[in-house]
Structure 1
Amino acid sequence: MAKLTRFFNDAVEEMQHKVTWPTYSELQKSSMLVLVGSIVFAIIVGAMDFVYDSTLNWFYNQF
């Protein structure tokens, strides 16, 4: 039990004193970058899916 308590105490101490937390403005910029990247990725994957689906539908309707 002592090892578990020490582990949690060390984890809390490391989070408070050794971790460099971003400022609020850095956090906002990073969040916007992730949001824009996710939207761009979703559009690309959606376009690929549309093209693939259209191609397969055209191919199957030929028979």
Structure 2
Amino acid sequence: MVAIVSAVLFFIAFLINAADISTNDTFSSTNLMLLGLTALALHVAGIGSGWSVRGRRR
């Protein structure tokens, strides 16, 4: 789920950068890219993945 959020943020940042849309400082393409990288790092760390590995059941 967090990986999908990061992909959407990367896509929006790409559109802002490719279309050369002037936005305020909060929604710049760099800030959206950094938010996407943060979400991707959280996904790689296992937060928001929905799976919890507790060990094998026998």
> Shorter-chain TM-score: which interval?
0.3 to 0.5
- Structure number with higher relative contact order (C-alpha < 8 Å, ≥ 6 residues apart): 2
What is the TM-score of this pair, normalised by structure 1?
0.38
What is the TM-score of this pair, normalised by structure 2?
0.41
Give the structure with the larger helix fraction: 1
* Bigger CA radius of gyration: 1
